[in-house]
Structure 1
Amino acid sequence: MYSLTAHVDHSSGLTLLERGQEFDSRGVQHCTQGCSFTLELHLRVSSTHCVAGAVGRGVLLPMPSDWAKFLPGQQLWAVYATAGDERVANFKKLLLGFMIGLLAWTYQSICPPPPKKLGSLNGPPITSPRIKLRDGRHLSYKEFGVPKEMAKYKVIFVHGFDSFKHHNVIATSASPALIQDLGIYIVSFDRPGYGESDPDPNRTLKSSALDIEELADQLELGSKFYVVGFSMGGQIIWTCLKYIPHRLAGAALIAPAVNYWWPRLPTQLSKEAYSRQYLQDQWCLSVAHYLPWLTYWWNTQKLFPSSSVISRSPEIFSRQDLELVPKFVTPKSIEDQIRHQGEYESIHRDLNIGFGKWEFDPTEIENPFPNNEGSVHIWQGDEDILVPEILQRYIAQQLPWIKYHELKGAGHMFPFAEGISDAILKALLLGKS
């Protein structure tokens, strides 16, 4: 016979087995099918069927009239089948809850917060003039040089990554005498999501060029104007050459960023240039290209090293750059405006657009000035850590109508060096080398 302790929970008032009562077929008859119970079994049987100290919870299964015909081991497993099922069910519920929580956390991690609304009660203030674009967005701008009504040359400057309209290098570094003598008007603007320009969640390569064209029209710059871009702003000049060449009087690309995935770049050359980047920057650009929906999470997580460009690490600067960086610095009160609407709509979207999949390859662009009525220039430093010169050289070779200027010993910040902005303007506006 079997020693049994039985605690039976039910509402039927059935007679229960008492603690320590001998467990025989007569005792079983007191508990009917469907009776909920907790069992603590101490089996005293042959060693092949003994499981000591077992605890179970379940529903009593149907029993035959003659209990002795069932082996003890078989009865034990019949009881514990329901116990295991319940534990498995509870585990599944726990796992489901965990997975739901994990998915919710993941969704919150990869979804950027909404941008801070400019001019709202708790949003950044609007301190500069703005124009209203075709889709209702506003573009903030700043004017330099002579008044546009008196200007002989009208130039639109496009700022780079993690920058804004105040970082107008050709206006702030060029000689004031040169600007006055030549009659140069220069306007720079905050690209979408930067500074005081509204974000553009639908931003594309083409929309960047159309924003520039509309800025020129609303400021009444005339049928043709010059464009100059620095770094990622230089990359945007390719979109102007592609989509609005009929509006250009000339263009200058200063250390323009290169997308390593442009299809016509030689694979080996692109890999070589890509391998020169710091490992964390390779990861950052790869995420922007292959998994753009993860860009916000990647650049805000703490598990892996962040982009050295976003963190503004001094490692990204050449020897010349380190000498010139102080000229790039603006007061912190103004500097804070760069990302004050949020990082996603400014620097993160910049990465997704600039290093994502392009609908055209710059090396396929046709000469916008077949009659030499204007010119296009690329300026590049041969010690630029951010933009490898080997790719710039290749692009210039594929486009023989481009005037390529490579500066020996120059890094990425070379336009801030003495006399360089003057040289850029003279080459663009006057055709002087």
Structure 2
Amino acid sequence: MDEQDILIPDKPKLNRIKERIPRTDLTRVVIIGGGFGGIELVRHLSKQKVQTVLVDKHNYHSFIPLLYQVATAGLSPGDISSPLREFLQDNKNFHFRMAKVKSVDPEQKRVITNAGFLEYDKLVIATGSSTNFFNNEQLKKNAHKLREISDAIELRTKLINNFEEAIQADGDEELEKYMNIVIVGAGPTGVELAGAIGELRKHVLPKDYPELDFSRLKIWLVEGTDRVLPSMSERSGHRAKRYLKKFGVRLLLGKFVESFDNGVVTLSDKRTIQTQCLVWAAGVKPNYIKGLPEGSDVKGRIKVDEFNRVWGVKDIYAIGDVSYQESKKYPKGLPMLAPVAIQQARRLSENLMAQIQGGTERPFAYTDKGTMATIGRNKAVIDAPFGIRLGGFLGWFIWMFIHLF
């Protein structure tokens, strides 16, 4: 056969157009997920003699760390997204299919999607993570999140509509619910969003809405631990706390959200806040895939060895947030961060080619190059290697350089 169906309907009732990919002598590497890890792997494999097939539910890649900028109108959606089909240009061995993956079948070496199944020689699972509401269906239904471009656009629309409603509010009680913004989670996402909104309140919103008194706009940042940016150094956390307070952000540390219903947020100390906008940035969970062998699941992540091979199965690998990889420095698994996914992808591309070409594989070792968060227009905090801690304008300048160049 010169070619075969890449997505063959596994149920007769599926009504779809057949997509065909040439069947060659090249090893077919199927990658599930077009996030940081998946994209980096595609970039490296596109230079090699393999057939690469990328599957994702979207046909674009979005830069998740900058979604808060879209939500606060600092950037447009196009500024932080790029079409996945760009990789098709000048690369006849790369193919993309937009589909939702349901499960994998290691015995048949197939990926089961909503459109049918896809065969592979080597499979890489890079499905990333999604917002973790900790099984609170009420919060999942009523709160905003920031994991996709559509989330950012929805949040931006909500903020704008709230200010429009505030202008027409009948009395202080109604005004309060439109002028309260509650952000849950003081990690990088929550801190950066709070800082960006604080910046808007200071420099932009009074000009756009002169009828509103923005001294009445309250930005609440709720965090379950006792400090801001708990995953970073205490020094960076203290700096971020100071910057946030300058923007008028109200910090509620050591507090948890118990419920959010009918515009009322109830905290663990029974305090209540009236709001029409709650943003949930309190954690993520891995996007695990069904069909893997029993024992490969560690706290919802896929257990892999130092070569990113999935435990208990052949020719399947996992990288990024969805993978669970232990090391001496990280006995509880590597952190769920973009740099981890990118570095894993680079090493895995080398190891896959070593397998195919009969070379020697090398184990993966994560190199921590630092963590950063920006607060407002010209402030940032950075935890760099060797105990270096930077903040203020210098930190912000470095943040801008890394993101723009």
State the TM bucket, normalised to the shorter chain: under 0.3
- Which has the larger Rg? 1
Q: TM-score, normalised by structure 1?
A: 0.24
Q: TM-score, normalised by structure 2?
A: 0.25
Structure number having the greater strand percentage: 2
Structure number having the greater helix percentage: 1
Give the number of the structure with larger relative contact order, counting CA–CA contacts within 8 Å between residues 6 or more apart. Answer: 2
